[in-house]
């Protein structure tokens, strides 16, 4: 009988073509929306992790208590040996030491007198090591506006807006005036190699980026770092996995009473990002579920209307002596085949469009001008295992339920009145 029903659906396009198209469109939108929401909200986390928080962060205990003030006098020391130990014990994590600092950038004139100056937020990152991924991680190459990338020690990148405010061009010299790790005043000269624009006002209005070794020389931080950021090699933040890793790491150093002993924090344990991660975990479930529910109602109604449209056909079949229960069951079987076919096609198309957005992205940099939050300038979807089956909930279940409800009317038909209905 099943083979007979499938042949009937193939041969009678009016019964299969439109329902399958409707189901496919609904499932495609469900899959695409789920991948889009998870991708956009996940990208916001990734942008903040790459610039500031990492997937996890290593700091000294004293530094962690006052991290918002960037107290480099409490920074980690003997970083080389600590990195060697971390890389050996946790190879699934990529470790990147960084130095956060603040200071005054002074631009001299031809006579060596101050021409202009302004406050800056600086970051020393590993830009010149052979195996470092920091340039790619911070997307520095694509962010260059003028000049070129740092190629040797003694060079620095300024944000484009900051350089325009100071009136300085690539190739000129600036002086960083700041405070060393030991509290003394320091002055260090840099050559501006280029300017960058990240699309976030919080960075662009006063950022200075240099190689970490130059930052160590400028701030007298030999073999030291403000913090060490850790990134999962999967490139996506997994809160459950990272929290488990952080707990294991902190237990290892729990017995140390040294205030400069390392302490580990996941991204979700760092200030406001914890609230955002929790928000993402909730809304990445609720938003797709709301859309699944909406699509379910649409496909439910499609199944209901499909059953009502065949009211005359059902009457003829009953008048010819077919049992009501058999008619009801065959309609449900047909809706199952339609739901499965539509869900497969819809999932395939949804995954295809999600892959396009995941690969090429949607550039919204024009909408990000003046943004004060760290948000991605290119929106990308993220295909997860759930996208391979989430469309079957509205596609199959709703179609079947709609047919079941519409089919209830079969049992209310009175055979004695069928011929009168058919004549009219």
Answer yes or no: do 402 and 361 share one domain.
Answer: yes
Answer yes or no: do 133 and 168 share one domain.
Answer: yes
**Residue scoring higher pLDDT (54 or 330):** 54
- 225, 79 in Cβ contact below 8 A? yes
Distance separating alpha carbons of residues 96 and 228, to the nearest angstrom: 5
155: left (phi over 0), alpha (psi -120 to 50) or beta: beta
Look at residue 82 and tell me whether its pLDDT is greater than 50.
yes
Instruction: Let me know if residue 334 belongs to a domain.
Output: yes
Instruction: Let me know if residue 269 belongs to a domain.
Output: no
Instruction: Let me know if residue 146 belongs to a domain.
Output: yes
Q: Give the E-state strand segments of 61-172 in sequence order.
A: 76-77, 93-108, 114-125, 144-147, 155-159
Look at residue 44 and tell me whether its pLDDT is greater than 70.
yes
Instruction: Let me know if residue 65 belongs to a domain.
Output: yes
Distance separating alpha carbons of residues 171 and 158, to the nearest angstrom: 12
Last residue of one domain, picked from the residues 236, 263, 296: 236
pLDDT at 213: 92
Answer yes or no: do 386 and 406 share one domain.
Answer: yes
> Mean pLDDT, to the nearest integer, of 12-36?
79
> Mean pLDDT, to the nearest integer, of 65-86?
88
> Mean pLDDT, to the nearest integer, of 379-390?
83
Look at residue 249 and tell me whether its pLDDT is greater than 80.
yes
Answer yes or no: do 134 and 212 share one domain.
Answer: yes
Percent above pLDDT 70 for the chain: 80
Q: Give the E-state strand segments of 242-393 in sequence order.
A: 262-266, 362-363, 378-379
Instruction: Let me know if residue 263 belongs to a domain.
Output: no
Answer yes or no: do 194 and 116 share one domain.
Answer: yes
Q: Tell how strand 185-196 and strand 224-225 pair up.
A: unpaired
Last residue of one domain, picked from the residues 236, 266, 296: 236
pLDDT tens digits, one per residue of 157-210: 999 888 999 999 999 999 999 888 888 899 999 999 999 987 666 777 888 999
The token pair at 57 is: 């962060």
pLDDT tens digits, one per residue of 226-243: 999 999 887 778 888 888
Domain that holds residue 207: 56-236
pLDDT at 279: 75
pLDDT at 2: 58
**CA end-to-end span of the chain:** 32
* CA distance to 38, 40, 41, 276, 337, per residue, from 279 (Å): 12, 13, 9, 5, 38
Kindly report the CA angle at 182 between 271 and 70, in degrees rounded to 5? 15
Distance of CA 409 to the CA centre of its chain: 48
pLDDT at 6: 60
Other beta carbons within 10 angstroms of residue 365's beta carbon come to 12
Look at residue 53 and tell me whether its pLDDT is greater than 90.
no
Question: What mean pLDDT value characterizes the chain?
Answer: 80
Give the model's confidence band at 371: pLDDT under 50 very low, under 70 low, under 90 confident, else very high: very low
pLDDT at 373: 43
The token pair at 224 is: 């030291």
| 155 Cβ contact partners less than 8 Å away, ≥ 6 residues apart | 190, 191, 192, 193, 210, 211, 214
Among residues 362, 121, 82, the alpha carbon closest in space to that of 224 is found at 82
pLDDT at 16: 66
Look at residue 4 and tell me whether its pLDDT is greater than 60.
no
**Residue scoring higher pLDDT (96 or 273):** 96
Look at residue 267 and tell me whether its pLDDT is greater than 70.
yes
> Mean pLDDT, to the nearest integer, of 297-323?
66
**pTM exceeds cut of 0.75:** no
Distance separating alpha carbons of residues 277 and 361, to the nearest angstrom: 22
pLDDT at 351: 93
pLDDT at 312: 65
Three-class SS of 172-196: CEEEEEEECCCCCEEEEEEEEEEEE
Answer yes or no: do 229 and 330 share one domain.
Answer: no
**Residue scoring higher pLDDT (369 or 58):** 58
Angle between helices 13-48 and 324-360 (to 10 degrees): 40
Residue 4: helix, strand or coil by DSSP? helix
Domain count, the chain: 2
Answer yes or no: do 30 and 64 share one domain.
Answer: no
The token pair at 111 is: 């006579």
Residue 320: helix, strand or coil by DSSP? coil
Distance separating alpha carbons of residues 116 and 106, to the nearest angstrom: 6
Instruction: Let me know if residue 293 belongs to a domain.
Output: yes
pLDDT at 370: 47
Q: Give the E-state strand segments of 109-152 in sequence order.
A: 114-125, 144-147
Handedness of CA 58, 60, 66, 71 (dihedral sign): negative
Look at residue 366 and tell me whether its pLDDT is greater than 90.
no
Answer yes or no: do 79 and 224 share one domain.
Answer: yes
Element of type H or E holding 172: none
Look at residue 304 and tell me whether its pLDDT is greater than 80.
no
Answer yes or no: do 8 and 60 share one domain.
Answer: no
Answer yes or no: do 196 and 177 share one domain.
Answer: yes
pLDDT tens digits, one per residue of 112-148: 788 888 999 899 999 988 888 888 888 888 888 899 9
Match 């200071």 to its residue by tokens: 103
SS percent in the chain: helix, strand, coil, step 5: 55, 20, 25
Last residue of one domain, picked from the residues 213, 236, 259: 236
Look at residue 367 and tell me whether its pLDDT is greater than 60.
no
**Residue scoring higher pLDDT (38 or 3):** 38
Match 């390392």 to its residue by tokens: 262
pLDDT at 190: 93
pLDDT at 140: 85
Instruction: Let me know if residue 266 belongs to a domain.
Output: no
84-98, 201-215, 237-251, 408-422: segment of lowest average pLDDT: 408-422
The token pair at 120 is: 């800056």
Distance separating alpha carbons of residues 320 and 418, to the nearest angstrom: 10
Instruction: Let me know if residue 123 belongs to a domain.
Output: yes
Answer yes or no: do 37 and 123 share one domain.
Answer: no
pLDDT tens digits, one per residue of 157-168: 999 888 999 999
Answer yes or no: do 61 and 35 share one domain.
Answer: no
- 340, 399 in Cβ contact below 8 A? no
Give the model's confidence band at 372: pLDDT under 50 very low, under 70 low, under 90 confident, else very high: very low
């Amino acid at each position: 009988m099943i083979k007979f029903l499938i042949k009937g659906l193939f041969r009678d396009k009016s019964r299969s073509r439109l329902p399958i198209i409707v189901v496919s469109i609904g499932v495609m939108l469900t899959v695409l929306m789920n991948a889009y929401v998870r991708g956009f909200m996940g990208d916001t986390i990734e942008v903040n992790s790459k610039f500031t928080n990492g997937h996890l962060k290593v700091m000294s205990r004293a530094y962690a208590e006052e991290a918002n003030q960037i107290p480099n006098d409490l920074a980690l020391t003997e970083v080389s040996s600590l990195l060697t130990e971390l890389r050996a014990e946790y190879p699934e994590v990529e470790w990147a030491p960084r130095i956060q600092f603040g200071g005054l950038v002074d631009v001299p004139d031809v006579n060596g007198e101050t021409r202009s100056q302004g406050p800056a937020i600086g970051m020393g990152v590993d830009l010149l090591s052979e195996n470092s991924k920091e340039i790619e991680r911070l997307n520095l190459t694509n962010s260059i506006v003028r000049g070129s990338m740092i190629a040797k020690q003694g060079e620095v990148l300024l944000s484009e807006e900051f350089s325009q405010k100071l009136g300085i061009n690539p190739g000129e010299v600036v002086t960083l005036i700041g405070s060393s790790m030991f509290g003394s005043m320091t002055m260090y000269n840099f050559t501006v190699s280029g300017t960058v624009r990240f699309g976030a006002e919080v960075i662009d209005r006063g950022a200075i980026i240099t190689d970490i070794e130059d930052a160590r020389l400028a701030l007298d931080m030999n073999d030291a770092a403000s913090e060490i950021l850790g990134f999962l090699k999967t490139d996506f933040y997994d809160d459950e996995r990272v929290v488990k890793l952080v707990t294991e790491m902190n237990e290892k150093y729990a017995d140390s009473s040294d205030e400069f002993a390392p302490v580990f924090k996941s991204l979700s344990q760092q200030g406001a990002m914890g609230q955002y991660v929790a928000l993402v975990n909730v809304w990445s479930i609720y938003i797709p579920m709301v859309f699944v529910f909406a699509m379910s109602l649409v496909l439910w109604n499609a199944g209901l209307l499909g059953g009502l449209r065949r009211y005359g056909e059902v009457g003829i079949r009953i008048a010819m002596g077919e049992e009501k229960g058999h008619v009801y069951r065959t309609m449900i079987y047909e809706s199952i085949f339609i739901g499965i076919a539509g869900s497969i096609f819809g999932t395939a198309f949804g995954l295809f469009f999600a892959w396009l957005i995941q690969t090429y992205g949607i550039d919204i940099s024009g909408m990000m001008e003046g943004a004060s939050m760290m948000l991605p300038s290119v929106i990308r979807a993220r295909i997860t295992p759930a996208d391979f089956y989430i469309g079957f909930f509205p596609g199959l279940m709703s179609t079947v339920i709609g047919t079941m409800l519409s089919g209830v009317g079969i049992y209310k038909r009175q055979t004695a009145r069928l011929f009168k209905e058919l004549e009219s």
